[in-house]
Amino acid sequence: RLALEQKKAEDTGTQTAMLAPGISLDTLKKTLILPASGKIIRRFGAEDGFGGKAAGITLAANPQSIVVTPVDATVLYAGPFRSYHQLLILDAGDGYHVVMGGMDQTMVTTGQFVLSGEPVGLMAIKPPPSSQSSSGNAADLTDNAELYIEFRKDGVPVDSAPWWSAQTAGRT
């Protein structure tokens, strides 16, 4: 329907308003589901294996899991980035961003608006045998690929734990 409205607007020379997150992330605490099925293996603030603290959570995602967006958002970036494989940066409004990395494929493009629960990526079957996990220890390798999820408020990482539903938060 949106595409039809945009086409009609182009034909008539008028502009349609862009979609934007309609609900503040602040009001969604304890309601979000994790973007993929799997188990949380590293929480915000835990040792990251490189001498620092984790700025997000890491999920051992089931092989070939579909990754969904946890919130309504606009895609700011979708593509490869350093060791994060495929990375998504989502603008959730009110200064909040959701960063997700570790996917094998992304299914969205920069500028696209996505709704909570909408597929945005796909995890790999499993990590390459020569790779190391994000903790840096070869012994930590599993048959699962790792999905990194970080919430940011005004450019600063924040603990996402208050947003996950009780059912989701217990996946450890």
Per-residue pLDDT of the chain (172 residues; tens, 9 = 90+): 444 444 444 554 444 344 556 688 888 999 999 999 999 999 999 998 889 999 999 999 988 899 999 999 999 999 998 877 899 999 999 999 999 999 999 999 999 999 999 999 999 876 555 444 444 443 344 567 899 999 999 999 999 999 999 866 555 5
Q: E strands, the chain, where?
A: 38-42, 57-61, 66-68, 73-80, 86-93, 96-103, 105-106, 113-114, 119-122, 145-153, 156-158
| Burial zone of 41 (CB within 10 Å; 0-12 exposed, 13-18 middle, 19+ buried) | buried
The count of residues in the chain is 172
CA torsion sign, 37 to 39 to 44 to 47? negative
Predicted local distance difference test score (pLDDT) of residue 143: 62
User: Where are the alpha helices (H) located in the chain, listed in sequence order?
Assistant: 2-12, 166-169
Predicted local distance difference test score (pLDDT) of residue 6: 44
> Torsion-angle region of residue 102: left (phi > 0), alpha (psi -120 to 50) or beta?
left
Q: Which 8-state DSSP code applies to residue 164?
A: B
Predicted local distance difference test score (pLDDT) of residue 171: 58
* pTM of the shown model: 0.77
Question: In this structure, which long-range contacts are made by residues 156-160, counting pairs with CB atoms below 8 Å and at least 24 apart in sequence?
Answer: 157/44, 157/55, 157/56, 159/44, 159/45, 160/44, 160/56, 160/57
